[in-house]
Structure 1
Amino acid sequence: MKHAEKVAHLHKHMAAVGVSPYTAAPPAWRLLWWLGAEIPPPMFLSFPVLAASAGVVFAVLFGLAHWLLPFMPGLQSPLEVMVVAGVAGLLFGLVLAAIYRGIARRHGLASWSDYRGQP
């Protein structure tokens, strides 16, 4: 089964079990798939991979936002911004990975290579 077919089956499967389409396939994944990347949905990634990737992306965007849009006047130095962004990214990544791995466990999702789209 091709990647696009598996993704379509995933959408149907997750809708059948009550998982939101934006939880099953977040906008970032939809964009990457549209660009041709054949990455597994977040529910099929391991905890460390998901935590690290989500945490790093969040930390970078969070740090840039705090640096370019100074809505936290207490953070003056770049080091302070990097530390706060790093901690925020770490927490975000851990929480997001825990949520997605919980969904995968609850619905008995194993690996993306073995997935056949059956509820």
Structure 2
Amino acid sequence: MDFEQHLDRAHQVLLKKGFSGAAINPIIYRLARKVGIKLPPPQFAHFGANILAGTLWFGTLWGVIMWFMQWQTLGVSLSYAVNASLITGMFFGLLMSIWYRISAKRKSVPSWQSLAE
């Protein structure tokens, strides 16, 4: 089974389990797939992959918004801005990873590998 078929099966399983379309296919995962990264839905992804995805998109977005709305006028250093964005992104990624793991367990989502069988 190729990745696209595997992904379609995973989406069908998640929809049957009661997840919403936005929850099973967040925009950062769609963007990652468009650039060639074979990332399963967050309910099937590894805990670390979910942390990394959350850190990258949220930390970057939050950091850019904070830079232009507040930090630049306050004279915040670039190193502080990058570190604050990274820490905030990691916190967000960790919380989202925990949420995905709990919701997958609560709804008895099978493993990614078992869907290929």
Unmatched tracts of structure 1, length 5 or more? none
- Cα distance in 1 for partners of 2:75, 2:84 equals 9
The Cα RMSD (Å) is 2.5
Q: TM-score, normalization: structure 2? A: 0.77
Deviation string 1:54-105 (CA, Å, 9 cap, x unpaired) is 21332233223322x2345546222332232123112101111011111221
Q: In the alignment, is the contact (CA less than 8 A) between 1:54 and 1:96 conserved in 2?
A: yes
Identity of matched residues, %: 24
Q: In the alignment, is the contact (CA less than 8 A) between 1:56 and 1:89 conserved in 2?
A: yes
| 2:61 counterpart residue number | 61
Deviating 4+ runs (over 4 angstroms): 72-75
Unmatched tracts of structure 2, length 5 or more? none
Where in structure 2 are the equivalents of 1:1-119 lying within 5 Å?
A: 1-67=1-67, 69-72=68-71, 73-74=73-74, 76-116=76-116
User: Which deviates more, 94-103 or 56-65?
Assistant: 56-65
- Cα distance in 2 for partners of 1:88, 1:75 equals 20
Structure number with the higher helix fraction is: 2
Secondary structure, counterpart of 2:115 in structure 1: coil
Count residues with an aligned counterpart. Answer: 116
- Cα distance in 1 for partners of 2:36, 2:69 equals 36
Q: TM-score, normalization: structure 1? A: 0.76
Q: CA deviation at 1:116?
A: 4.6
Q: CA deviation at 1:22?
A: 1.2
